Structure 1
Amino acid sequence: MTEIELTDADRRVVVVAVGKGEDAVTAINEAAARHRIHGARVTAVGGFASAELGYFDRAKRDYLPIPVREQVEVLSLLGDIADDHGRPALHLHAVLGHRDGSTVGGHLLRGEVWPTLEVIITEVGASLTKRIDHETGLALLTGTTGP
Structure 2
Amino acid sequence: MQHKLIHDDGSKTWAVILETGDEVTACLQSFATAQKLSAAHLTAIGAFERAVLGYFEWDKKTYRRNPVDNQCEVVALLGDVALKDGEPKLHMHAVLGQPDGQALGGHLLEGHVRPTLEVVVTETPAHLHRRFDPDAGLALIRMDADTP
The total of aligned residue pairs comes to 137
Where 1:13 maps in the other structure, the secondary structure is strand
What is the distance in 2 between the residues matched to 1:30 and 1:137? 25
- Secondary structure class of the residue paired with 2:21: coil
Describe the SS at the equivalent of 1:110. Answer: strand
What TM-score, normalized to structure 2? Answer: 0.89
Instruction: Please name the residue that 2:122 is paired with.
Output: 122
- Structure 2 gaps of 5+ residues are 1-8
- Distance in 1 (CA, whole Å) between partners of 2:143 and 2:87 is 16
The share of aligned pairs that are identical, in percent, is 42
Q: TM-score, normalised by structure 1?
A: 0.89
Write the distance in 1 (CA, Å) between the matches of 2:58 and 2:71: 29
| Residues 39, 123 of structure 1: 8 Å contact kept | yes
Counterpart residue number, 1:6: none
The CA distance in 1 between the partners of 2:12 and 2:144, in whole Å, is 17
* Structure 1 residue 40: Cα displacement: 0.6
Match of 2:3 in 1: none
Q: Distance in 1 between matches of 2:71 and 2:132?
A: 34
Q: Is the 8 A contact 1:40 1:82 kept in 2?
A: yes
- The aligned counterpart of 2:41 is 41
Mapping for residues 1-147 of structure 1, pairs under 5 Å: 10-143=10-143
Q: CA deviation at 1:144?
A: 7.1
Report if aligned partners of 1:38, 1:126 keep a CA contact under 8 Å in 2: no
Unaligned runs of 5+ in 1: 1-8
Q: What is the letter of the counterpart of residue 88 of structure 1? A: P
Return the alpha-carbon distance in structure 2 between the equivalents of residues 131 and 26 of structure 1.
Answer: 22
Q: In structure 2, what residue type is equivalent to 1:140?
A: L
- Whether the 8 Å CA contact 1:95–1:104 is kept in 2: the answer is yes
Distance in 1 (alpha carbons) for counterparts of 2:41 and 2:92 = 10
Question: Which of 1 and 2 has higher RCO (CA within 8 Å, sep 6+)?
Answer: 1
Q: Tell me the CA shift for residue 126 of structure 1.
A: 2.6
Distance in structure 2 (CA, Å) of the matches to 1:53 and 1:15? 24
The one-letter code matched in structure 2 to 1:49 is E
Q: Which amino acid aligns with 1:60?
A: K
Following superposition, the deviation at residue 108 of structure 1 comes to: 0.1
- C-alpha deviation, 1:100, in angstroms: 1.0
Cα distance, 1:89 vs. partner?
Answer: 0.9
Structure 1: distance between partners of 2:24 and 2:55: 18
Q: Distance in 2 between matches of 1:74 and 1:114?
A: 10
